[in-house]
Structure 1
Protein backbone atom coordinates (compact mmCIF):
# COMPACT_ATOMS: atom_id res chain seq x y z
CA UNK A 1 0.00 0.00 0.00
CA UNK A 2 1.38 3.45 -0.78
CA UNK A 3 2.60 5.44 2.17
CA UNK A 4 1.33 8.94 2.96
CA UNK A 5 3.92 11.67 3.13
CA UNK A 6 2.27 14.26 5.37
CA UNK A 7 2.99 13.72 9.09
CA UNK A 8 -0.57 14.73 10.04
CA UNK A 9 -1.97 12.01 7.74
CA UNK A 10 0.34 9.44 9.31
CA UNK A 11 -0.71 10.43 12.84
CA UNK A 12 -4.41 10.44 11.86
CA UNK A 13 -4.05 6.91 10.48
CA UNK A 14 -2.18 5.80 13.60
CA UNK A 15 -4.92 7.27 15.82
CA UNK A 16 -7.60 5.57 13.67
CA UNK A 17 -5.87 2.19 14.10
CA UNK A 18 -5.50 2.58 17.87
CA UNK A 19 -9.09 3.79 18.24
CA UNK A 20 -10.48 0.93 16.17
CA UNK A 21 -8.58 -1.68 18.19
CA UNK A 22 -9.71 -0.05 21.44
CA UNK A 23 -13.34 -0.04 20.25
CA UNK A 24 -13.06 -3.75 19.42
CA UNK A 25 -11.54 -4.58 22.83
CA UNK A 26 -8.09 -5.60 21.63
CA UNK A 27 -5.83 -6.88 24.40
CA UNK A 28 -2.29 -5.64 25.21
CA UNK A 29 -2.06 -3.14 22.35
CA UNK A 30 1.49 -1.91 21.80
CA UNK A 31 2.62 0.74 19.33
CA UNK A 32 6.27 0.72 18.24
CA UNK A 33 7.57 3.86 16.51
CA UNK A 34 9.54 2.96 13.38
CA UNK A 35 10.09 6.41 11.85
CA UNK A 36 13.81 6.80 11.29
CA UNK A 37 14.41 3.13 12.19
CA UNK A 38 12.78 1.34 9.26
CA UNK A 39 11.58 2.23 5.80
CA UNK A 40 8.59 -0.13 5.94
CA UNK A 41 6.31 2.10 8.03
CA UNK A 42 6.24 4.86 10.63
CA UNK A 43 4.37 2.78 13.24
CA UNK A 44 3.93 -0.89 14.02
CA UNK A 45 0.94 -1.76 16.16
CA UNK A 46 0.71 -5.18 17.83
CA UNK A 47 -2.41 -6.39 19.63
CA UNK A 48 -4.11 -9.59 20.68
CA UNK A 49 -7.62 -10.93 20.45
CA UNK A 50 -9.05 -13.55 22.78
CA UNK A 51 -9.97 -15.93 19.95
CA UNK A 52 -9.55 -16.43 16.22
CA UNK A 53 -13.07 -15.06 15.79
CA UNK A 54 -12.19 -11.81 17.60
CA UNK A 55 -8.89 -11.46 15.71
CA UNK A 56 -10.68 -11.89 12.36
CA UNK A 57 -13.44 -9.47 13.36
CA UNK A 58 -10.97 -6.80 14.53
CA UNK A 59 -8.98 -7.13 11.29
CA UNK A 60 -12.03 -6.84 9.04
CA UNK A 61 -13.45 -3.86 10.93
CA UNK A 62 -10.08 -2.12 10.95
CA UNK A 63 -9.66 -2.58 7.19
CA UNK A 64 -13.19 -1.23 6.60
CA UNK A 65 -12.52 1.81 8.81
CA UNK A 66 -9.21 2.54 7.07
CA UNK A 67 -10.89 2.37 3.65
CA UNK A 68 -13.78 4.59 4.83
CA UNK A 69 -11.47 7.22 6.37
CA UNK A 70 -8.60 7.30 3.89
CA UNK A 71 -10.17 5.98 0.70
CA UNK A 72 -7.26 3.57 0.40
CA UNK A 73 -7.67 -0.18 0.87
CA UNK A 74 -5.52 -1.91 3.48
CA UNK A 75 -3.91 -5.21 2.53
CA UNK A 76 -4.75 -8.13 4.84
CA UNK A 77 -2.88 -11.41 5.16
CA UNK A 78 -3.64 -14.37 7.42
CA UNK A 79 -7.39 -13.88 7.70
CA UNK A 80 -8.48 -17.49 6.97
CA UNK A 81 -6.74 -18.92 10.06
CA UNK A 82 -6.76 -15.69 12.11
CA UNK A 83 -3.94 -16.85 14.40
CA UNK A 84 -1.80 -13.96 13.13
CA UNK A 85 -3.33 -11.35 10.84
CA UNK A 86 -1.24 -8.64 9.21
CA UNK A 87 -2.90 -5.41 8.08
CA UNK A 88 -0.71 -3.22 5.88
CA UNK A 89 -2.13 0.28 5.96
CA UNK A 90 0.95 1.87 4.41
CA UNK A 91 2.39 4.07 7.15
CA UNK A 92 1.03 1.81 9.88
CA UNK A 93 1.56 -1.95 9.97
CA UNK A 94 -0.77 -3.86 12.30
CA UNK A 95 -0.21 -7.36 13.66
CA UNK A 96 -3.19 -9.02 15.36
CA UNK A 97 -2.57 -12.28 17.21
CA UNK A 98 -4.12 -14.93 19.35
CA UNK A 99 -2.17 -14.66 22.67
CA UNK A 100 -0.30 -17.98 22.30
CA UNK A 101 0.86 -17.12 18.79
CA UNK A 102 1.91 -13.62 19.87
CA UNK A 103 4.07 -14.92 22.71
CA UNK A 104 5.68 -17.47 20.36
CA UNK A 105 6.76 -14.89 17.76
CA UNK A 106 7.40 -12.07 20.28
CA UNK A 107 7.57 -9.28 17.69
CA UNK A 108 7.87 -6.67 20.43
CA UNK A 109 11.31 -7.97 21.34
CA UNK A 110 12.39 -8.25 17.70
CA UNK A 111 11.45 -4.62 16.97
CA UNK A 112 12.46 -3.05 20.30
CA UNK A 113 15.78 -1.69 18.90
CA UNK A 114 17.47 -2.01 22.28
CA UNK A 115 14.61 -0.48 24.21
CA UNK A 116 13.13 -2.42 27.10
CA UNK A 117 9.68 -3.81 26.24
CA UNK A 118 6.80 -2.27 28.14
CA UNK A 119 5.77 -4.12 31.28
CA UNK A 120 2.88 -6.53 30.94
CA UNK A 121 3.48 -7.40 27.29
CA UNK A 122 4.28 -11.04 26.70
Structure 2
Protein backbone atom coordinates (compact mmCIF):
# COMPACT_ATOMS: atom_id res chain seq x y z
CA UNK A 1 0.00 0.00 0.00
CA UNK A 2 1.22 3.50 -0.86
CA UNK A 3 0.22 6.52 1.23
CA UNK A 4 1.20 10.04 0.17
CA UNK A 5 1.41 13.08 2.44
CA UNK A 6 1.47 16.33 0.48
CA UNK A 7 2.40 19.46 2.40
CA UNK A 8 1.22 22.91 1.33
CA UNK A 9 2.67 25.87 3.22
CA UNK A 10 0.51 28.77 4.29
CA UNK A 11 3.02 31.14 5.83
CA UNK A 12 4.49 29.57 8.95
CA UNK A 13 1.78 26.87 9.03
CA UNK A 14 1.23 23.94 6.69
CA UNK A 15 -1.76 21.90 5.58
CA UNK A 16 -1.12 18.23 4.88
CA UNK A 17 -3.27 16.24 2.48
CA UNK A 18 -3.19 12.44 2.76
CA UNK A 19 -3.82 10.14 -0.20
CA UNK A 20 -4.37 6.54 0.93
CA UNK A 21 -4.08 3.56 -1.42
CA UNK A 22 -2.27 5.74 -3.96
CA UNK A 23 -0.65 4.65 -7.21
CA UNK A 24 2.71 5.44 -8.75
CA UNK A 25 0.94 7.84 -11.12
CA UNK A 26 -0.63 9.69 -8.16
CA UNK A 27 2.82 9.98 -6.55
CA UNK A 28 4.21 11.58 -9.70
CA UNK A 29 1.19 13.90 -10.00
CA UNK A 30 1.77 15.20 -6.46
CA UNK A 31 5.54 15.55 -6.99
CA UNK A 32 5.02 17.49 -10.23
CA UNK A 33 3.00 20.05 -8.23
CA UNK A 34 6.00 20.78 -6.02
CA UNK A 35 7.13 24.34 -6.71
CA UNK A 36 9.89 24.68 -4.12
CA UNK A 37 7.98 27.36 -2.19
CA UNK A 38 4.43 26.62 -1.04
CA UNK A 39 4.78 22.96 -2.00
CA UNK A 40 8.26 21.78 -1.06
CA UNK A 41 7.80 18.47 0.75
CA UNK A 42 6.11 15.18 -0.06
CA UNK A 43 6.36 12.04 2.05
CA UNK A 44 5.46 8.60 0.70
CA UNK A 45 5.01 5.54 2.89
CA UNK A 46 5.37 2.18 1.19
CA UNK A 47 5.69 -1.05 3.15
CA UNK A 48 8.29 -0.28 5.84
CA UNK A 49 9.93 2.56 3.90
CA UNK A 50 9.43 6.29 4.27
CA UNK A 51 10.39 8.21 1.13
CA UNK A 52 10.86 11.95 1.62
CA UNK A 53 11.11 14.28 -1.35
CA UNK A 54 11.96 17.94 -0.92
CA UNK A 55 12.43 20.90 -3.23
CA UNK A 56 10.59 21.41 -6.49
CA UNK A 57 10.86 23.00 -9.93
CA UNK A 58 13.21 20.25 -11.18
CA UNK A 59 15.60 20.40 -8.19
CA UNK A 60 14.81 17.72 -5.63
CA UNK A 61 16.29 15.86 -2.66
CA UNK A 62 15.25 12.21 -2.13
CA UNK A 63 15.80 10.41 1.18
CA UNK A 64 14.55 6.91 2.00
CA UNK A 65 14.38 5.79 5.61
CA UNK A 66 14.14 2.10 6.46
CA UNK A 67 14.18 0.46 9.87
CA UNK A 68 17.98 0.35 9.91
CA UNK A 69 19.34 2.80 7.32
CA UNK A 70 18.88 6.14 5.64
CA UNK A 71 19.50 6.30 1.88
CA UNK A 72 20.15 9.59 0.08
CA UNK A 73 19.77 9.55 -3.70
CA UNK A 74 22.86 10.93 -5.42
CA UNK A 75 22.98 12.76 -8.72
CA UNK A 76 26.59 11.71 -9.11
CA UNK A 77 28.83 9.41 -7.06
CA UNK A 78 31.70 11.93 -7.21
CA UNK A 79 32.39 14.30 -4.34
CA UNK A 80 31.43 17.91 -5.01
CA UNK A 81 32.11 20.85 -2.72
CA UNK A 82 29.39 23.06 -4.19
CA UNK A 83 26.16 23.71 -2.30
CA UNK A 84 22.67 24.49 -3.62
CA UNK A 85 19.94 26.24 -1.67
CA UNK A 86 16.59 24.45 -1.75
CA UNK A 87 13.42 24.94 0.24
CA UNK A 88 12.24 21.78 1.96
CA UNK A 89 9.20 21.85 4.23
CA UNK A 90 9.15 25.64 4.12
CA UNK A 91 12.79 25.97 5.24
CA UNK A 92 15.55 27.22 2.96
CA UNK A 93 18.52 24.86 3.38
CA UNK A 94 21.85 24.35 1.68
CA UNK A 95 22.54 20.87 0.33
CA UNK A 96 25.65 19.47 -1.32
CA UNK A 97 25.23 19.47 -5.11
CA UNK A 98 25.55 15.67 -5.17
CA UNK A 99 22.13 15.34 -3.43
CA UNK A 100 20.23 17.56 -5.87
CA UNK A 101 18.47 15.45 -8.52
CA UNK A 102 16.11 16.07 -11.45
CA UNK A 103 12.44 15.12 -11.70
CA UNK A 104 13.44 12.32 -14.10
CA UNK A 105 15.78 10.82 -11.50
CA UNK A 106 13.04 11.10 -8.84
CA UNK A 107 10.71 9.18 -11.16
CA UNK A 108 13.33 6.47 -11.81
CA UNK A 109 13.98 6.11 -8.06
CA UNK A 110 10.24 5.82 -7.30
CA UNK A 111 9.79 3.16 -9.98
CA UNK A 112 12.64 1.26 -8.37
CA UNK A 113 11.25 1.66 -4.82
CA UNK A 114 7.53 1.20 -5.50
CA UNK A 115 7.46 -1.16 -8.46
CA UNK A 116 10.73 -3.08 -7.99
CA UNK A 117 12.04 -2.05 -11.40
CA UNK A 118 15.71 -2.76 -11.74
CA UNK A 119 17.75 0.30 -12.44
CA UNK A 120 21.20 1.51 -11.52
CA UNK A 121 21.02 4.37 -9.06
CA UNK A 122 23.64 5.85 -6.78
CA UNK A 123 22.70 5.99 -3.10
CA UNK A 124 24.58 7.14 -0.03
CA UNK A 125 23.72 4.80 2.86
CA UNK A 126 23.89 5.84 6.51
CA UNK A 127 23.41 3.25 9.26
CA UNK A 128 21.10 4.32 12.10
Question: Is TM-score (shorter-chain normalized) higher than 0.5?
Answer: no
Higher strand share: 2
Higher helix share: 1
Q: Structure with the greater relative contact order (CA < 8 A, sep ≥ 6): 1 or 2?
A: 1
